[in-house]
Amino acid sequence: MTSTAVANGLVVQLQGLSKNFGAVKAVDDASFDIHAGEIFGILGPNGSGKTTTIRMLCGLLLPTAGNASVAGFDVAKEPEQVKLHIGYMSQAFGLYKDLTVEENLRFYGGLYGVRGAAGATRIQQQLEELDLGARATQMAGTLSGGWKQRLALACATTHRPTLLFLDEPTAGVDPAARQQFWDHIGRLSAEGTTILLTTHYMDEAERCERLVFLSGGRLIAQGSPAAITAQFGQPTLEAVFIELQRAVEAAA
Amino acid in position 43: L
Q: Rounded to whole angstroms, how far apart are CA atoms 3 and 188?
A: 17
On whether the CB atoms of residues 93 and 145 are closer than 8 A, the answer is no
Residues paired with 100 in a beta bridge: 139
Q: What is the dihedral of CA 188, 93, 242, 29, to 10 degrees?
A: 80
* Global pTM value: 0.90
Residues paired with 74 in a beta bridge: 69
Return the SS3 of 31: strand
When computed from its CA atoms, the radius of gyration of the chain, rounded to whole angstroms, is 18
Please give the domain boundaries of the chain with CATH numbers for all domains: 10-85+202-252 (3.40.50.300)
| Pick from 213, 216, 197: nearest CA to 47 | 216
Per-residue pLDDT of the chain (252 residues; tens, 9 = 90+): 444 446 579 999 999 999 999 999 999 999 999 999 999 999 988 889 999 999 999 999 999 999 999 999 999 999 999 999 999 997 666 789 999 999 999 999 999 999 999 999 999 999 999 999 999 999 999 998 889 999 999 999 999 999 999 988 888 788 888 889 999 999 999 999 999 999 888 888 999 999 999 999 999 999 999 999 999 999 999 998 888 878 777 776
* Angle of CA points 46, 51, 54, to nearest 5°: 150
- Helices first, then strands: H and E counts in the chain: 9, 10
Q: Rounded to whole angstroms, how far apart are CA atoms 65 and 62?
A: 9
